[in-house]
A and B are shown apart, each in its own frame.
Chain A
Amino acid sequence: MGSRASTLLRDEEIEEIKKETGFSHSQITRLYSRFTSLDKGENGTLSREDFQRIPELAINPLGDRIINAFFPEGEDQVNFRGFMRTLAHFRPIEDNEKSKDQNGPEPLNSRSNKLHFAFRLYDLDKDDKISRDELLQVLRMMVGVNISDEQLGSIADRTIQEADQDGDSAISFAEFVKVLEKVDVEQKMSIRFLH
């Protein structure tokens, strides 16, 4: 029950998560209660099935890719710490964060990290490049059976062609950033968390 859940989260842990992710104390406790309610196995970690049980996520064409983003290579459980680290990419950038000193580690919700997160959704084999084939696979997830192979292929070709600067027929992270330079990534890759 709820009372047990909140006693499990120690103050030191909250402090550490706060430092790492930038979430406030009350956001962390509320997200922790969300985490425990998703955790049907009640073992302090979430599995892929726990995520898939959220209907709105299960119907999302990219649901599986999004779920995957929570799990580091080769692992099939994520603890609260890891859960929060991934969520932190979607924290909006606050005014006082923009002017922060440049020496510290880059916050998880920076423009660059948000873009990197999106890039990894396309980069299925994690080789830091989006190949035509990877783009096609992601496109297929998004459109289902509704568009022919031929048509989808030409969409992929055009997209790669437009973004590819060094002529290797694949998109590097730098090229990805360039293509999206005019897009308001800060807003589109943020969720309005309440304080």
Chain B
Amino acid sequence: MEVVCALGHVGAVWVAVVLGLVMLPSALGISLGISEAYMWVLVKTLEWATIRLQKGAKKPQLQMPRTPTANGIIERDETPMEKEIALLHRADFEFSHIFYFCRKGFEAIVEDEVTQRFSSEELLSWNLLTRTNVNFHYISLRLTVVWVIGVVVRYCFLLPLRFSLAAIGITSMIVGTTMVGQLPNGSVKSYLSEVVHLTCSRILVRALSGTIHYHNKENRPQKGGICVANHTSPIDAIILTNDGCYAMVGQVHGGLMGIIQRATVKACPHVWFERSEIKDRHLVTKRLREHVADKSKLPILIFPEGTCINNTSVMMFKKGSFEIGGTIYPVAIKYDPQFGDAFWNSSKYNIVSYLLRIMTSWAIVCNVWYLPPMVRKEDEDAVQFANRVRSAIARQGGLTELPWDGGLKRAKVKDTFKEEQQKNYSKMLLFLGKLSHDMWLDTSALAHGLWHVGCSPQEELAPGSLSTHRCPGQSTSKWLHHV
């Protein structure tokens, strides 16, 4: 009896703690300062660990990175094909042309821009979580002790607490939105729906020990607009909803996600598509247009990359969202990887094991920047507009811009890219052949001249100029149009 009694007490205290310290503040949108205190302790501990690691690194047997670039394997040669081959030029084709392609190929094998974005980013210092860096499994005695304490805290205290919170958050989201959904459409309904969404996402953010810094709140997405953000994880949506409601756009899921989707759509005008519908681009665009046209509806939230990227770069934005028209509100989200890896590697982990990893990490710390709204210019097509928005997000979030399609995570690269390369090379070959027949030019002057024709001032100044990225197909094609 006594054991049952004691268990009952523990349970009651637990419920009281959860209710009093988390639920109420969430509903009211206030903070008691507990998570701030937790973060303070965490930051201090990690700082201490970094110093310990650096001291340890002075011992010769350790291989510690010395500079931020030391995580890279090579330094790339960025000489463009035209420059390199034209400088060698004597006739149209020479055996040495192969060297260029060869070197590019090997550089890509050793280190490439794309595939590494689909696996967790490397950290510069160990963050006392076992799973991070290859370079950091050396552990001194004191660090080991701290690490063990960390494991106990994370798994025995934080995990149950976070798990209960997540359960409460999800349940109240389902129950709340279903109840609100019964009300007739009107201002009362949308008000209550917002309250439910905000409260539940606050609970869920607490379930992840989320510390989120919102910047430039004056640019927050307005009704009737489209909010586009870079995508790292499914929790991006919760992070954003924590500061304002959105109408979500996405595909209908099964399981728990499906139940949540069906419940929330009753209260709030989310746009869920069946798998068969999502292929129908016209239908998608039409439904989104209708939504945007209604200025009383919540802003739509879209992740135009279409897949999760590891928080270091922004990949190609699919143009669909930029064809709808209306105002685009760009948002940049950048997680602090020191406290836990927010990236969802969906080809490696399912959603449950992903959430488990998140809930046993230290915390989710992130910055959210609201950027000034953007509208498509008259002389711009959807792709150019998408690139302009992407550049703005990348600049603000400190992310690398990559022209590649995030879909490469699963699909193979399209043949057209290779054809583009072949086309570039052929053009150059024919051009060199013509030159060597027509006139006898000084080869270095030739290369120099060519180079200048290629870089017109507009291209150099254009935001998101393609000159720095590593997709040679696009960077050189522009250049050769002038030839």
Which residue numbers of A lie inside 8 Å of B, CB to CB?
A: 1-3, 5-6, 25-27, 29-31, 33-34, 37-38, 51-63, 66, 87, 90, 117-118, 121-122, 138-139, 142-147, 151, 155-156, 158-159, 162-163, 176, 179-180, 183, 185, 188-194
Assembly CA distance A68 to B96 (angstroms): 19
Which chain B residues lie closer than 8 Å to A189 at the CB level? 99, 102-103
Inter-subunit contact B74/A159 (CB<8 Å): no
Distance (whole angstroms) from the CB of B100 to the closest CB of chain A? 7
B51 on the interface (CB 8 Å rule)? no
Inter-subunit contact A194/B96 (CB<8 Å): no
Sorted nearest first, the 5 A-B pairs with minimum C-beta distance are A144-B422, A146-B426, A2-B134, A56-B108, A66-B105
Question: Do A3 and B91 contact each other (CB < 8 Å), given the known contacts A121-B102, A144-B419?
Answer: no
Inter-subunit contact A143/B103 (CB<8 Å): no
Q: Of all chain A residues, which has the CB nearest B96?
A: A183
Inter-subunit contact A143/B422 (CB<8 Å): yes
Inter-subunit contact B70/A194 (CB<8 Å): yes
Question: Do A55 and B134 contact each other (CB < 8 Å), given the known contacts A66-B102, A121-B102, A193-B73?
Answer: no
Q: Of all chain A residues, which has the CB nearest B425?
A: A142
Which chain B residues lie closer than 8 Å to A27 at the CB level? 73
Which chain B residues lie closer than 8 Å to A2 at the CB level? 131-134
B121 on the interface (CB 8 Å rule)? no
Select A183's contact among B88, B108, B113, B134, beta carbons within 8 Å: B88
Question: Do A55 and B73 contact each other (CB < 8 Å), given the known contacts A33-B134, A90-B103, A143-B426?
Answer: no
Question: Do A57 and B99 contact each other (CB < 8 Å), given the known contacts A29-B134, A146-B426, A146-B427?
Answer: no
Sample 7 A-B pairs with CB under 8 A, ordered by A number: A29-B63, A55-B413, A56-B471, A66-B105, A87-B106, A185-B99, A192-B76
Which chain A residues lie closer than 8 Å to B77 at the CB level? 191-192
Tell me the B415-439 residues at the A interface (CB within 8 Å). Answer: 417-423, 425-427, 429-430, 433
B323 on the interface (CB 8 Å rule)? no
Inter-subunit contact B73/A61 (CB<8 Å): no
Question: Do A3 and B134 contact each other (CB < 8 Å), given the known contacts A142-B101, A142-B425, A191-B74?
Answer: yes
- Given A121-B102, A180-B96, output 19 extra A-B contacts at Cβ < 8 Å: A1-B131, A34-B73, A51-B109, A54-B109, A54-B114, A55-B112, A56-B471, A58-B412, A59-B473, A62-B98, A63-B418, A66-B102, A66-B105, A122-B95, A144-B419, A158-B92, A188-B99, A191-B74, A192-B74
Inter-subunit contact A188/B96 (CB<8 Å): yes
Question: Do A56 and B114 contact each other (CB < 8 Å), given the known contacts A191-B103, A192-B77?
Answer: yes
Assembly CA distance A133 to B385 (angstroms): 47
Inter-subunit contact B75/A194 (CB<8 Å): yes
Distance (whole angstroms) from the CB of B78 to the closest CB of chain A? 11
Q: How large is the interface on B (under 10, 10 to 19, 20 to 34, 35 or more residues)?
A: 35 or more
Distance (whole angstroms) from the CB of A190 to the closest CB of chain B? 8
Distance (whole angstroms) from the CB of A81 to the closest CB of chain B? 16
Assembly CA distance A89 to B41 (angstroms): 50
Inter-subunit contact A87/B110 (CB<8 Å): yes
Inter-subunit contact A56/B113 (CB<8 Å): yes
Distance (whole angstroms) from the CB of A36 to the closest CB of chain B? 9
Inter-subunit contact A194/B137 (CB<8 Å): no
Question: Do A25 and B100 contact each other (CB < 8 Å), given the known contacts A159-B95, A194-B73?
Answer: no
Assembly CA distance A60 to B69 (angstroms): 26
Assembly CA distance A188 to B96 (angstroms): 9
Question: Do A56 and B104 contact each other (CB < 8 Å), given the known contacts A29-B63, A118-B99, A143-B422?
Answer: yes
Question: Do A61 and B425 contact each other (CB < 8 Å), given the known contacts A55-B413, A56-B114, A118-B95?
Answer: yes
Which chain A residues lie closer than 8 Å to B404 at the CB level? 55
Give chain B's interface secondary structure class.
helix
Distance (whole angstroms) from the CB of A156 to the closest CB of chain B? 8
Which chain B residues lie closer than 8 Å to A155 at the CB level? 92-93, 429, 433
Which chain A residues lie closer than 8 Å to B74 at the CB level? 191-194
Select B130's contact among A3, A33, A57, A194, beta carbons within 8 Å: A3
Select B115's contact among A54, A63, A145, A162, beta carbons within 8 Å: A54
Which chain A residues lie closer than 8 Å to B426 at the CB level? 142-144, 146-147
Question: Do A192 and B75 contact each other (CB < 8 Å), given the known contacts A37-B119, A58-B413?
Answer: yes
Select B110's contact among A122, A146, A191, beta carbons within 8 Å: A191
Q: Of all chain A residues, which has the CB nearest B69?
A: A194
Inter-subunit contact A179/B95 (CB<8 Å): yes
Inter-subunit contact A56/B134 (CB<8 Å): no
B94 on the interface (CB 8 Å rule)? yes
Distance (whole angstroms) from the CB of B17 to the closest CB of chain A? 34
Distance (whole angstroms) from the CB of B76 to the closest CB of chain A? 8
Q: Of all chain B residues, which has the CB nearest A25?
A: B63
Assembly CA distance A53 to B408 (angstroms): 8
Select B94's contact among A56, A60, A159, beta carbons within 8 Å: A159
Assembly CA distance A159 to B130 (angstroms): 58
Inter-subunit contact B102/A55 (CB<8 Å): no
Assembly CA distance A47 to B135 (angstroms): 26
B72 on the interface (CB 8 Å rule)? yes
Inter-subunit contact B101/A61 (CB<8 Å): yes
Assembly CA distance A122 to B362 (angstroms): 54
Assembly CA distance A30 to B133 (angstroms): 11
Residue of A25, A156, A191 with most chain B CB atoms under a 10 A cut-off: A191
Which chain A residues lie closer than 8 Å to B99 at the CB level? 118, 183, 185, 188-189
Which chain A residues lie closer than 8 Å to B433 at the CB level? 155
Inter-subunit contact B104/A34 (CB<8 Å): no
Q: Of all chain A residues, which has the CB nearest B116?
A: A37
Inter-subunit contact A52/B109 (CB<8 Å): no
Question: Do A60 and B75 contact each other (CB < 8 Å), given the known contacts A5-B134, A55-B408, A158-B91?
Answer: no
B478 on the interface (CB 8 Å rule)? no
Inter-subunit contact A54/B108 (CB<8 Å): yes
